[in-house]
Amino acid sequence: MGSLINIGSANLNKGEIREGMVLKGWDSVSDCTDSDCLLVSKCNYVHKGKCGVQVAYIKNFCDTIFNTYKYLDSNCLFKVGMHLMPLYSHLCKLKIVEASISDPINTTAKGLIQVHPIYKEIRETLKAILMVSRDMDLFAHGVIPDIDIDLDDSDDVHGSRNHYKKISEETDRRTLVR
């Protein structure tokens, strides 16, 4: 999936993710800075063109989203491309900075010891990602919805969607011992 999507270009049209569905998005992948990069000693990618770490990160994001959520309509794809993709790109850049710091604890000029501010930025970006994901109903109550499952409600072997609902309706709460 990710290899079909044009990651790292300034072109907003990233390509067709499935028949008739085109992804328009902003990935904002930076150019490789080679020896100026904070991760140059740890990087296993080619030090030329776009940053290989960021390209791989965004491709993995796209693969995960488009393989898991095959039901996304054009409105949701717009939000993925224009909201989630830039947030994940930003998160990747923050994680690159995080990976480069030697000590997560900073001491201010006044001698106050505090956690490196990059961690707050990472948390804030993760919160923004969660808010956009919830707006798109990607995560319902912390679980990935699977709309392709067709279970028979009377199937005791493979489970029933309404099992817990039936149990709670059948149980008289007044007779429960606490």
Residue 1 has pLDDT above 50, yes or no: no
Identify which of 122, 138, 118 has the alpha carbon closest to the alpha carbon of residue 130.
Answer: 138
In which band, very low, low, confident or very high, does the pLDDT at 3 lie, cut at 50, 70 and 90?
A: very low
Cβ contact 88:25 at 8 Å? no
pLDDT at residue 149, as a whole number: 44
Residue 129 has pLDDT above 80, yes or no: yes
CA 102 to CA 112: how far, in whole Å? 18
Instruction: Compute the average pLDDT of residues 141-162.
Output: 52
pLDDT at residue 175, as a whole number: 59
CA 45 to CA 53: how far, in whole Å? 7
Residue 170 has pLDDT above 70, yes or no: no
Structure tokens at 39: 């991760």
Q: Which helix (H) or strand (E) element contains residue 21?
A: strand 21-24
Poorest-pLDDT segment among 12-21, 71-80, 110-119, 162-171: 162-171
10 Å CB burial of residue 142 (0-12, 13-18, 19+) is exposed
Pairing of strands 113-115, 105-107: antiparallel
- Which of 28-32, 67-71, 84-88 is predicted most confidently? 84-88
pLDDT at residue 174, as a whole number: 59
pLDDT at residue 121, as a whole number: 95
pLDDT at residue 147, as a whole number: 47
Instruction: Compute the average pLDDT of residues 90-94.
Output: 94
